[in-house]
Structure 1
Amino acid sequence: MTADTLAAPRSPQVRAKGANLEKWGWIYMRASGVVLVVLIFGHLFVNLMLGEGIHALDWGFVAGKLANPFWQWWDILMLWLALIHGANGMRTIVNDYVTGEKVRKVLVWAIFVSSALLIILGTLVVFAFDPCNGVTTDSAFWDACQAL
């Protein structure tokens, strides 16, 4: 059989040794998609439906939420899953549609680097968030920060 022809549908396949990364990527997309639906709708419900609803969304609401370790980890899990899910989807699109090997490698590398950078920065924002950083005596948040 030449390189231009396809094997018969039921012929035995020669499989490379090692982990099947495409299979695990496929499984990750399905599992993370289900978890993301729960995380995102939980996030939207708490932020928009409970309490005063959308009218309660302000700096104090966000500061209070990010002061709670439960919500920090909820947001981190949502951030990590969404960015890795999106990056894996973009990698799949690049692998499917970009024909040049060198261009494909550069694009996949750029997706990896940008996703890693966003994950690092997002994680730092969530865990290093200080609502009183830079608040001065003439700020509207001065009294609230003094109470902390």
Structure 2
Amino acid sequence: MSADTTAATTDDVTLYDVDNPAPVIEPPRQRTKKTPRAPHKKGSNFEMYGWLFMRLSGIVLVVLVLGHLLIQLVLDGGVSKIGFAFVAGRWASPFWQAWDLIMLWLAMLHGGNGLRTIINDYAERDNTRFWLKMLLYTATAFTVLLGTLVIFTFDPNIR
């Protein structure tokens, strides 16, 4: 093979040539009359703030979740030690209540924002997009409210 050959080679084997051309990359979809357009509100930066929230909450969640796993599974004796009494002892402290509350809220809002983005990207009809997002918002709000209620009203003396 000569040095001016433009085909990709591996150990003197030509990957692409006249008989074996490189794959063609399809151009992105063209916008049609049915393609939904995002409403452009002057001064609205919701998507930018959502993007920024995903990055920042992801960093904080890594710290919270790894700390949670390290403390519960490594330092406190492993999974066999986790039970009702363990949770009651942890949630007796406002620090651990706040830790778990922040982790719950950030995880649900982070996941909800990610699913909202997926719905916006893949749901083509406005009606479908609306109902999927309403279902997502309802499930997210229900989980956040129920989790918050459990954390703050947990009674270790329940029988």
Correspondence for 1:114:
139
Matched, 1:93 2:118: yes
Query: Alignment partner for residue 156 of structure 2, among 131, 136, 146?
Result: 131
Matched, 1:84 2:109: yes
Structure 2: gaps spanning 5 or more residues: 1-30, 33-39
Q: Percent identity?
A: 48
Larger radius of gyration: 2
Correspondence for 1:49:
74
Structure 1: gaps spanning 5 or more residues: 5-14, 136-148
Correspondence for 2:54:
29
* 1:2-49, Cα deviation, whole Å (9 max, x unpaired): x75xxxxxxxxxx64122100000000000000000000000011011
Distance 1:108 1:65 in 2: 35
Correspondence for 2:19:
none
Correspondence for 2:98:
73
Structure 2 length-normalised TM: 0.73
> Does the residue aligned with 1:49 lie in a helix, a strand or coil?
helix
What are the equivalent positions in structure 2 for 1:59-70 lying under 5 Å apart?
Answer: 59-70=84-95
* Dislocated runs of 4+, deviation >3 Å: none
Structure 1 length-normalised TM: 0.78
* 1:94-129, Cα deviation, whole Å (9 max, x unpaired): 000010001101111111111011100000000000
Distance 2:143 2:76 in 1: 31
Distance 1:25 1:120 in 2: 21
What is the alpha-carbon root mean square deviation over aligned residues? Answer: 1.4
